[in-house]
């Protein structure tokens, strides 16, 4: 069975009028007519093989998946189609990584119905809706209409529209899913208007771009935000208005960012380096010596601190290497902040935050309560309280200066956090980098209700 639609069936009421009228073109297509799996496919779980007509998954377990290595961006709405030959098959889309079944949407057909849900940061499946579909029998075509304008997606099984659901993740990798061994698929394709935008060819523009947002920093009275997908650093005001972009033309994998004395410092993990930009956003120096797999950067009045997989490298303000400290203390560290005589590290792999004495980087305090996989940490300059962004816990945890648990920030509105990666304190506001948006919480007010949302 192959796709037989000369035009897309049922661009129905759930999809915008614009999408109904748009001319669709094929972005990606595979009819599985070869004798080996195409190199673009990345098996995540299970053994996937083709026989010239179908692709089949075998193995033990409950979740099987393979994804394409092409990142589908949020810039255009698109349609994903798959011909499924056995109940239990489905589609994955908007995954954060092509080699991990987490932070993605999953729609799969079960015995008598359809299950809609998502995989969280830890790879656990959450079902958001289960639908009964009468007379459901394989083979059938499943279509997912991803409407970026309205931030939702629709599901068709055959010619029946069965669901309209809110988008949790707005871009990423797509592929096939199966709930059991032996599921086969006849075809797969992604369609959209015009050509598909990818990070490598995407035109940067003077508008906010929040995508896989994992690092932020304060600069003057505004925020610096890092978009690692597109490879840009942007400055925005405290209410989200775009100000400027720091141009980085070559291939990079951006991570941490910090600001001090008018300079902006950016981690470039692709080249194991730290970039320093002057007040005119022109690169002044690139340092790669004594840095290995850097994660984050922080500055104070005398030094620059680079967190990498081996500890903390300390530089002077001319970016001359001084010393390496805190070796062997962390397991996959992610976030760094420095204030006064304290250095805080989000120790992702150990599920804790370590508070160090800045003078010798000895451990002063270890915070573990409520934490699972912390990635971002910030210190309140007013009282020394510590805020930790933890995507594993799907929350921001607030501790006092002695490490005592104060509160869990976990908004009850807008379906809670998606995946909080970083946190900043600016004035009386707590800013949270929540994957593809920033939520602001006013201190002293109910922290379960954000007072600001930047998309």
Q: Which residues contact 282 (CB under 8 A, 6 or more apart)?
A: none
Q: What is the pTM assigned to this prediction?
A: 0.90
For the record, the structure tokens of 262 come out as 């008018």
Do the domain assignments include residue 107? yes
Instruction: Check whether residue 136 and residue 156 sit in a common domain.
Output: yes
Beta bridge partners of 66: 43, 176
Q: Which of 136, 167, 199 is the last residue of a domain?
A: 199
> Do 60 and 131 belong to one domain?
yes
Residue 56 resides in a domain: yes
Q: Is 148 in the same domain as 228?
A: no
Number of other CB atoms surrounding residue 125 within 10 Å = 17
CATH number at residue 260: 2.120.10.30
Whether residue 167 contacts residue 152, with contact meaning beta carbons closer than 8 Å, is answered with: yes
Q: Specify whether 373 is located in the same domain as 302.
A: yes
Of 199, 226, 253, the one marking the end of a domain is 199
As given in the structure block, the two tokens for residue 240 are 């989200």
pLDDT tens digit string along 39-88?
999 999 999 999 999 999 999 877 899 999 999 988 889 999 999 998 89
Per the domain annotation, does 442 fall within a domain?
Answer: yes
Do 240 and 114 fall within a single domain?
no
Closest CA to 140 of 175, 77, 183, 92: 183
Q: Which residue segment(s) compose the domain that 115 sits in? A: 17-199
Q: Which of 83, 78, 157, 86 is nearest to 116 (CA)?
A: 157
Is 5 contained in some domain? Answer: no
Mean pLDDT of the chain: 90
C-alpha R_g of the chain: 23
Domain match, 152 and 249 both: no
Q: With respect to residue 1, please indicate whether it lies within any of the assigned structural domains.
A: no
Contacts of 135 (CB under 8 A, 6+ apart): none
Same domain, 247 and 340: yes
Mark whether 254 and 376 lie in a shared domain.
yes
**CATH number for the domain harbouring residue 90:** 2.60.120.560
Q: Tally helices (H) and strands (E) across the chain.
A: 1, 39
Can you read off the two tokens belonging to residue 155? 């599901």
> Do both 208 and 151 map to the same domain?
no
- Identify the weakest region by mean pLDDT among 55-69, 241-255, 312-326: 241-255
CB 155 within 8 A of CB 163: yes
Q: Is residue 275 situated within a structural domain?
A: yes
Domains contained in the chain, number: 2
CA dihedral sign of residues 231, 236, 240, 242: negative
Q: How many residues does the chain have?
A: 455
One domain for residues 26 and 95:
yes
| Beta strands 311-316; 263-268: pairing state | unpaired
| Cis peptide bond upstream of 341, omega within 30 | no
Higher pLDDT, 16 or 339: 339
Q: What DSSP string describes 358-378?
A: TTT--EEEEE-TT-SS--EEE
Alpha carbon separation from 346 to 166, 312, 333, 380 (Å, rounded): 31, 12, 6, 15
Indicate the pLDDT class of residue 191, thresholds 50, 70 and 90.
very high
Do residue 167 and residue 237 come from a single domain? Answer: no
Q: Is residue 138 part of a domain?
A: yes
State what percent of residues in the chain have pLDDT above 70: 93
Strand partners for 313: 306, 324
Please tell me the distance from the alpha carbon of residue 370 to that of residue 363, in angstroms, as a whole number.
Answer: 20
> Are 227 and 348 contained in the same domain?
yes
Q: Which of 153, 173, 199 is the last residue of a domain?
A: 199
43 lies in some domain: yes
Calculate mean pLDDT across residues 416-443.
94
């Amino acid at each position: 069975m192959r796709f037989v639609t000369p035009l897309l069936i049922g661009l129905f009421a759930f999809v915008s009028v614009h999408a109904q009228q748009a001319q669709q073109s094929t972005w990606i297509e595979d009819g599985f007519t070869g004798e080996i799996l195409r190199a673009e496919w990345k098996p995540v779980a299970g053994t996937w093989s083709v026989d010239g007509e179908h692709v089949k998954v075998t193995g033990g377990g409950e979740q099987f998946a393979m994804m394409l290595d092409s990142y589908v961006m949020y810039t255009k709405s698109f349609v994903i189609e798959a011909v499924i030959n056995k109940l239990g098959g489905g589609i994955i889309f908007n995954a954060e990584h092509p080699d991990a079944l987490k932070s993605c949407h999953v729609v799969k057909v079960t015995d008598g119905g359809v299950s809609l849900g998502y995989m969280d940061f830890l790879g656990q499946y959450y079902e958001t809706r289960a639908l009964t579909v009468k007379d459901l029998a394989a083979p059938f075509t499943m279509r997912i209409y991803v409407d970026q304008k309205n931030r939702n997606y629709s599901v068709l099984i055959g010619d029946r529209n069965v669901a309209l659901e809110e988008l949790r993740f707005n871009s990423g990798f797509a592929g096939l899913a199966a709930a059991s061994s032996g599921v086969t698929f006849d075809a797969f394709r992604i369609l959209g208007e015009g050509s598909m935008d990818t990070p490598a060819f995407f035109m940067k523009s003077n508008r906010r771009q929040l995508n896989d947002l994992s690092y932020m920093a304060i600069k003057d009275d505004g925020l610096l935000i890092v978009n690692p997908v597109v490879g840009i650093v942007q400055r925005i005001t405290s209410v989200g208005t775009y100000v400027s972009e720091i141009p980085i033309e070559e291939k990079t994998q951006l991570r941490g960012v910090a600001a001090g004395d008018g300079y902006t410092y950016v981690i470039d993990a692709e080249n194991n380096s730290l970039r320093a930009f002057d007040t005119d956003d022109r690169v002044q120096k690139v340092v790669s010596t004594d840095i290995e797999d850097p994660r984050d950067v922080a500055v104070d009045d005398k030094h620059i601190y680079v967190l990498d997989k081996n500890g903390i490298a300390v530089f002077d303000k001319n970016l001359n290497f001084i010393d390496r400290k805190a070796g062997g203390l962390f397991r996959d560290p992610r976030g760094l902040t420095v204030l006064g005589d304290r250095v805080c590290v989000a120790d992702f792999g150990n599920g804790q935050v370590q508070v160090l004495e800045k003078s010798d980087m000895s451990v002063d305090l270890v915070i573990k309560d409520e934490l699972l996989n912390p990635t971002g940490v910030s210190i309140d300059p007013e009282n020394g309280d510590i805020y930790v962004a933890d995507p594993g816990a799907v929350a921001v945890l607030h501790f006092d200066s002695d490490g005592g648990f104060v509160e869990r920030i976990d908004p009850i509105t807008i379906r809670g956090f998606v995946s909080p990666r970083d946190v900043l304190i600016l004035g009386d506001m707590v800013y949270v980098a929540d994957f593809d948006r920033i939520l602001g919480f006013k201190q002293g007010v109910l922290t379960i209700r954000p007072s600001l949302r930047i998309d």
